[in-house]
Amino acid sequence: MSDDCLFCSIVAGDIPAERVLENDLVVAFRDIAPKAATHVLVVPRTHAPDVAALAASAPEQLAAMALAAQEIADAECGGEYKWIFNTGAGAGQTVFHAHGHVLGGDLSGSLV
C-alpha cells in the first residue's frame, strides 16, 4: 500500500466507494464520473503504478482482475464489455495505481 495513493485508501476502506465486487486480490468499485452505463474500476489490492508493473510483480493479481472484469460484465451488461487501461499521464492515467476500466452498455459511439 502507498500512503498517498487514492486507490490504496479506497482498498483500505479509508475512502468510501460503491464497491461491486471484492476478494482477496482485487476490489472493484463504480467510477465517480462514468463514461458508460456500466463503468467500474477494478484495482489490485497490492499497489503497482500501472498494469505493466503489476504484470511484472504480481501476475496473479492481473489474472484476478481479468476474472473480476468478466464477472462484473456478466452481472451488469450481458458479458460484453471493454476493459481499458490508461498507462502514463500522456495516455490519461490520473491515479498511478494499476486499474482497469470495465465499460459496458451501449458503446456503439465509443472511440476505443
Q: List the catalytic residues.
A: 99
Round to the nearest angstrom and report the end-to-end CA distance of the chain.
Answer: 31
Rounded CA separation 40/19 (Å):
9
Grid coordinates belonging to 21: 465486487
Grid cell digits, residue 74: 456478466
Rg, C-alpha atoms of the chain: 13
User: Which residue blocks in 47-94 are alpha helix, DSSP H?
Assistant: 51-57, 59-76
